[in-house]
Structure 1
Amino acid sequence: MMQNTEVTHTVRLILGDQLNPLHSWFSDTDPQTLYLMMEMRQETDYVRHHAQKVIAIFAAMRAFATALRERGHRVHYLQINEADSQLPMVESLDAVMARTGASVLEYQEPDEWRLDALLKEHLAQAEASGSYSGRMVGSEHFYTERHQAQSMFKPGSRWLMETFYRQMRKRHAVLLDAKREPEGGQWNFDSENRKAWKGFPPEPEDFRPRHDHTLLWEQIQRAGVQTFGTPSAQSFRWPLDRAEALAQLETFATDVLPYFGDFQDALSGKARRLFHSLLSFALNTKMLSPQEVVERAARAWQGGGVPLPAAEGFIRQILGWREYVRAVYWAAMPGYEAHNFFDHQAELPDWFWTGKTHMACVSSAITQSLDMAHAHHIQRLMVIGNFALLAGLNPNALHQWYLGIYIDAFEWVELPNTVGMSQFADGGGLATKPYVSSAAYLDRMGDHCAGCRYDKKQKTTADACPFNALYWEFYDRHTRLLSHNPRIGMAYRQLEKMQPEEKEALFEKARSLRANLNAL
């Protein structure tokens, strides 16, 4: 229970993804201001989350609260084992306001639409009843405001990421020469970022510190929180605070970024991390700002230690894609999660929760996700997402799985990536084509096919790679919706050249696969 021993005028709510110690809120101390942080069943239970995600957020929240107290701020922290954690957030919030006698509530703008709507509605009710007043302030994190991107595109035009990215580069003077032209003479080096990894250079060691969160994990379990995945509580690798995140950024920029560009799209069953930064959790909880991450990558190139395609490819993910999908999210919500352009309805196979499928690349990606709460973007898009789209899995069910399993998954960034980019469920609002492939792409970018039960070269035999038949049947099944898309005309031209018996064998194989997904 909270003791009201000091006069409180203002309560400032800090959400679990708002762990930025540099926010202007904390520039000075005020004895009449109380900071409120809450571990809530509402937030652990709205989807089923990976154990490491719950542990990481709670551990980082607790470390943040401790740091605030050490700086002289007053903090009330509600732990998951306390009774009020079982209440809806707004009821716990009202209880704190009543106990303290505070007359003002302040909160930073939430990044998720559901929390934004919830807090706005509740504050309006509190003000109407005379309970307390309040206001929302900025999170001081992103390059752009929520709806700023809408002014960057002409009405009725497509929101192309490349257009957005170039404008952001110009607006923030990133990788520009003296004439404000792109360094290296081109805006995008994506064509140079597609090499397969053959084992050299070696994957870097995991430089992150280890934490023992056994007691926290026991507390989470006793509270009844339902999770999945491997908790790794005794050897936990995700950062606790800004200092650890900064150290991670520095090591990445000096030792790992030089190789990121070449191999950012590579797949391997022999290396889980490859040359990815693993910074997304620290970024999405605001331990790090996107500005400092982009600036550090640019300095790494300017210092001569990192090739321009590597620096540009990494910066494009932060300055371009990350800000772009956030803009799409706020423009499309509410209701974006309900899009289902292809009317796909299949349930997720059971092996999404075990990784026990005979498809080596899919098993590797899902098993890694269950073990680490992380997979890189090609595993998410071109392995798991690719299969889900070809197999006709329900995009909303897949969205909830992605939202739960990944350490960095908050709805503003995960939902457009899953529903729009991965599953094309918005009908092309985000992506210009469905991102699907047969086994040929997976073999070209990875090394899983060599040890797989299925044969990458076969299409209709018992041991044929499922991606092959599913690929062609996907296009045939959705001819009406896709045949006029100029980016995928080649697929339909190839289908037209096939003999009728060849096509029917492919389609029958695919239908059999889709009817028996749990057996794959």
Structure 2
Amino acid sequence: MRLVLVLGDQLSDNLSALRKCDKDNDIVVMAEVADEASYVPHHPKKIAFLFAAMRKFAAKLECEGWQVAYTKLDDRQNTGSITGELIRRASEHDAAGVVYTEPGEWRLIEALGDLPLKTHQLSDDRFIASHKDFEDWAEGRKALRMEYFYRDMRRKTGLLMDGDKPEGDKWNYDHENRKPAPDQVDYGGPMQFTPDDTVEEVLTLVENRFGDNFGTLRPFWFATDTGQARQHLARWLTDGLPKFGDFQDAMLNDNRFLYHAIIGLYINAGLLDPLEVCQKAEQAYKDGDAPLNAVEGFIRQIIGWREYVRGIYFREGPDYTSRNGLDHTRKLPAMYWGADTKMNCIAKSVGQTRDEAYAHHIQRLMVTGNFALLAGIDPGEVHEWYLAVYADAYEWVEAPNVIGMSQFADGGIIASKPYISSGNYIHKMSDYCGSCAYKVKDKTGENACPFNLLYWHFLDRHRDRFEANPRMGNMYRVFDRMNEDRQKTVLQEAEDFLSRMDAGRTV
């Protein structure tokens, strides 16, 4: 008899560890443990989502004939760690060893590798590209750009392919997916589910144990099983997907979701199969229910970007999260944890994160991420914040997005240049600036948008690194055409802003 470990982000019927084992003889081990719930201060909604989904998945396995050894967080015998629970269960059942699917974080891979038990790790074949597939693709390339990897994934899956050519004769329709915020959104947002008894029990547990964590627990509306997640997906495919592409980069004060799918948390926990999701989106295009730009943009995020960042994470190794290619050391400001700020875009993005454990990719990349990069915040602190506050965040997907894409801390493995902008980008893509205490059109002075000041400050302090970058040289030429007094004013006002922020003053 063996133990079969199922982790909280492996809630999939087709998990390799379940396929490998025998329900008549082997025992599934699942555990809510303090180590996993607190290695960063996770958002209460994320903890509740995973615990509730785990309990329902365990009950489903039992109905299918599996014996499940399930440990709740408040069980008296709970050892507090995954490895501790495996050792305890192995002793209880005189198990011959442990079979498990590869975890998505180096931290757990290393811990399970050190178990004083016989172990058998299986690959996580819920992904389209294996580690070897990604290594083979990356071998010999000077630059590991996602676009070319994505094209190979399209060929491999056949999604949106017309023979050997991409549907519509173009691989990428991103240029059609950058419309500014619409005046009105005719989609009601994600499907919301009323907590059942299982979820309510978990919510009470999380309130008692993690009530001081950053984040609002109630109202709680997430799907917590595959059936609910599929209902949510079906509704979005019909009502949200058609306009998703056009407005996927837009941001609004009074609409947190626009046309976004909000399925990252369900895919990453295993409740939805990524390839099945993409096939359903492709079918919507084939049926004439959604335009190509929307479907292509959505599929690219899953079989392109999602698969790509996983490849980067495992290729780069356990030290990836500690990289700091720009030597940024500033502490994460309190406004990321909900402290007052006069910057409306930050306040809206952080407030939404607090309430929903969700923000879409542009809010993460071009608002909170952009500010952190411009201000020179320690990427390790930025990484831990993103890992803590979002319900879809697991290190394999979060770290490359933050360390690589957002903070350029990996030295340019993912991005060919830093993703920085002045306030004009946020003004173009949102209605945030109209109700901000700062003035996005002001380049200097007490009302100047901090993004405007910090943009030039970043370029100035990193001139040696980026002046020769062909995608950034023009901005240095713009700065150099400013008269000397204006340059000094911009840089001094940026320094003054950062000093006020560092001192804990409201900025």
Q: Shorter-normalised TM-score: what interval?
A: over 0.9
The residue number in structure 2 matching 1:83 is 76
Letter of the 2:6 partner, please give it. I
Unmatched 5+ residue regions in structure 1?
1-8, 127-132
- Aligned-pair CA distance for 1:197: 1.8
2:201 pairs, out of 206, 215, 239, with: 215
Match of 1:193 among 177, 183, 190: 177
- Alignment partner for residue 62 of structure 2, among 58, 66, 69? 69
Aligned to 2:102: 109
CA RMSD of aligned residues (A): 1.6
Equivalence for 2:486: 502
Could you tell me which amino acid in structure 2 is paired with residue 444 of structure 1? Answer: K
Partners of 1:478 and 1:24 lie apart in 2 by 46
Residue 225 and residue 354 in structure 1: after superposition, are their counterparts in 2 closer, same or farther (change >3 A)?
closer
Aligned: 1:345 with 2:324: no
Say if 1:195 and 1:445, in contact at 8 Å, map to a contact too. yes
**Percentage identity across aligned positions?**
39
Q: What corresponds to 1:295 in structure 2?
A: 279
Cα deviation for residue 386 of structure 1 reads: 0.4
> Hey, what does 2:10 align to over in structure 1?
18
Measure how far apart 1:403 and its partner are: 0.1
**CA 226–35 in structure 1, closer or farther in 2 if over 3 Å, else same:** farther
DSSP 3-state at the match of 1:486: coil
Amino acid at match of 1:317: Q
- List per-residue Cα deviations over 1:184-224 (Å, max 9, x = no partner): 11110011000012223424243232215443233234456
Shift of the 23–447 alpha-carbon distance from structure 1 to 2, 3 Å rule, reads: same
Write the deviation string for residues 46-80 of structure 1: whole angstroms up to 9, x where unpaired.
Answer: 11110001000000000101111111111111000
Instruction: Pick from 50, 53, 60 the counterpart of residue 57 of structure 1.
Output: 50
1:341 Cα deviation from its structure 2 partner: 1.4
Matched-pair contact (CA < 8 Å) for 2:441–2:449: yes
Q: 2:447 maps to what in 1?
A: 463
State the distance in 1 between where 2:157 and 2:221 align.
33
* CA–CA distance in structure 1, aligned partners of residues 280 and 438 of structure 2: 43
Q: Matches of residues 170-209 of structure 1 in structure 2 within 5 Å? A: 170-178=155-163, 180-209=164-193
Question: Greater CA deviation, 66-75 or 48-57?
Answer: 66-75
Give the residue type in structure 2 aligned to 1:21: D
> What's the TM-score, normalizing by structure 2?
0.96
- CA distances 1:470-493 after superposition (whole Å, capped 9, x unpaired): 001110011011111111111111
Q: Distance in 1 between matches of 2:275 and 2:224?
A: 20
**AA aligned opposite 1:202:** D
TM-superposed deviation, 1:33? 1.1
Asked whether the 8 Å contact 2:105–2:395 carries over to 1, the reply is yes
For 1:265-414, list aligned pairs within 5 A.
Answer: 265-354=249-338, 356-414=340-398
**Matched length:** 501
Report what 2:30 is aligned to.
37
8 Å contact 1:81–1:220 — kept in the other structure? no
Task: Report what 1:119 is aligned to.
Answer: 112
Consecutive aligned runs of 4 or more in structure 1 exceeding 6 Å deviation: none
| 1:455/1:149 CA distance change after superposition, 3 Å | same
Which residues of 2 match residues 447-486 of structure 1 at below 5 A?
Answer: 447-486=431-470
Q: Which moved more, 1:330-339 or 1:346-355?
A: 346-355
Question: What is the alpha-carbon distance in structure 1 between the residues aligned to residue 361 and residue 243 of structure 2?
Answer: 16
Instruction: Give per-residue Cα distances to partners, 1:348-374, cap 9 Å, x unaligned.
Output: 111211152111111100000000000
Q: Any conservation in 2 of the 1:45–1:226 contact (CA below 8 Å)?
A: no
Residue 240 (structure 2) pairs with residue 256 (structure 1) = yes
Name structure 2 gaps, 5 residues minimum: none
The amino acid of 1:44's aligned partner reads: A
Q: Is the 8 A contact 1:49 1:226 kept in 2?
A: no
Mapping for residues 416-431 of structure 1, pairs under 5 Å: 416-431=400-415
* SS in structure 1 at match of 2:321: helix
